Amino acid sequence: MTNPRDSQSILWTFMRALKRRWWPYLAAVGPGLLAANAGNDAGGIATYASAGAHYGYELLWVLVLVFIGVAVVQEMSARLGAVTGKGFADLVRENFPIRVTALIMFTLLVANTGIIISEFVGIAAAAELFGVSRYIAVPVAAFLVWFMITAGSYSRVEKILIALSTVFLAYIASAILVEPSTDSIITGLIPRTPQNGEEIMLIVALVGTTISPYMQLYVQSSVVEKGTTPQELRYTRVDVYAGTILSGIVAACILIATAATLFPAGIAVDSAEDAALALAPIAGDYAKYLFAIGLLGASLLAAGVLPLATTYMLSESLGFERGVSRSWQEAPVFMGIFTVLIVLGAVVSLIPGLPLIDVLVGVYVLNGLLLPIALIAIMSLITNRELMGDYVSSPVQRAVAWVIVVMVSALSFIYIGWTLFGA
């Protein structure tokens, strides 16, 4: 007869062995998961909802291609951080001429500032769905985000931001409950030629909201602050790929939910209330409140990640101390820049008569147009053998990455041509 104490000892030994095997993967979770899900922010929700409402399932194929790109680009950024121990701006400053560095930093600052404003626009839209004035909700949200970052350690901030990511489950449930047409989804996954300028603009916005430069900035800087080593890259890659898959599922579900509910009814997404109708299968008359919770959580998540990514970039490029775990005395410039960005985003979002959905989608069109500059810089760094050593990208990785760069650049030039010449 087996001794109960022996059985208990075997069980504890098994549990300890299991913990040793899986703990490194769990400990690595954070940068990739947060960066990918921050892309499903207020602008992302509005863009995916616009795609579903205007074109049904027809743009699902764009999401598949784009999220493959997200996985590739995020992995490269994480690898750069782990191997060099430096953030993106640090590497750009050290490896590019001063004029090129200034162009890259200016481009990222313009794109990121626009998106920071859009996050507070999203908070304002969510608040108004609850009947709360934006002039109350935005200042309160701005203070909470500011206090969370400036008064906390990196690990605590990371845990809070991960908790906020759970709001996206509402969109997954919505897409299931609307019982979408399987045949239409399969058809939507087949690539096709865009038919007009508006569709091209929306595709550029889908690219811009999904492969956002700030996501790469955040991943790389977070990997550095977490102290990830090259030997731990396999754990970080799991974080990056898992975050990308989850984010892709959420984005597809938002598009599917709106394609199934708004597109057949011919309802255009011109306000947060319109997009809220996509959640009617879950909440009925309370759909807009569930949407507001999702929009608020997503906006708060990005309102923390995005200014943080921009602050890392500016502090690195100027050579100042930085890090969430540092105090005001240790990193006054870092904390000061973060504070200014939060205040700027909140103040601009309170401008009377600001067209909310137009701002959210328009910002990501701009992001998509500026994205090629950041991607080319990342490619130049990741293929530098002197910088990366044995961790330089393989020929296959380089080929896939350059295809992404070329596709994004082509979309940007096509959109510019259509805008300027109607071609």
**Residue with the two structure tokens 């098994």:** 14
Tokens of residue 41, six digits: 């922010």
In the predicted structure, residue 60 carries a pLDDT above the cut 90: yes
pLDDT on residue 25:
44
Name the percent of the chain lying above pLDDT 90. 6
Burial 58-92 (b: 16+ CB within 10 A, else e): bbbebbeebbebbbbbbbbbbbbbbbbebbbbbbb
Tokens of residue 378, six digits: 């990342």
Torsion angle, CA of 381/385/391/394, rounded to 10 degrees?
90
**Residue with the two structure tokens 């080319």:** 376
CB 281 within 8 A of CB 169: no
pLDDT on residue 39:
66
In the predicted structure, residue 393 carries a pLDDT above the cut 70: yes
pLDDT on residue 23:
45
pLDDT on residue 143:
92
**Which range has the worst mean pLDDT, 58-67, 132-141, 290-299?**
290-299
Q: How confident is the model at residue 139 (pLDDT cuts 50, 70, 90)?
A: very high
The sign one gets for the Cα dihedral 296, 300, 302, 303 is positive
In the predicted structure, residue 404 carries a pLDDT above the cut 70: yes
pLDDT on residue 285:
65
Tokens of residue 406, six digits: 């070329």
Tokens of residue 166, six digits: 């759970």
pLDDT on residue 104:
76
Tokens of residue 35, six digits: 């960066």
Q: How confident is the model at residue 123 (pLDDT cuts 50, 70, 90)?
A: confident
The sign one gets for the Cα dihedral 165, 259, 357, 420 is positive
- What whole-number distance in Å separates Cα of residue 312 and Cα of residue 363? 21
Three-point CA angle 278, 63, 251, nearest 5°: 35
Q: How much is the pTM?
A: 0.78
Q: How confident is the model at residue 374 (pLDDT cuts 50, 70, 90)?
A: confident
Distances from the Cα of 86 to the Cα of 80, 143, 149, angstroms: 8, 30, 21
In the predicted structure, residue 26 carries a pLDDT above the cut 70: no
Q: In 166-232, which residue ranges form alpha helices assigned H by DSSP?
A: 169-177, 182-188, 197-210, 213-226
Q: How confident is the model at residue 178 (pLDDT cuts 50, 70, 90)?
A: confident
Q: Which domains does the chain have, with CATH numbers?
A: 26-421 (1.20.1740.10)
Q: What mean pLDDT is reported for the chain?
A: 78
CB 56 within 8 A of CB 259: yes
Helix axes 356-382, 395-421, angle to 10 degrees: 140
In the predicted structure, residue 61 carries a pLDDT above the cut 90: yes
Q: Which residue has the higher pLDDT, 353 or 257?
A: 257
> Reduced to 3 DSSP states, what percent helix, strand and coil does the chain have, rounded to the nearest 5?
80, 0, 20
**Residue with the two structure tokens 């863009």:** 47
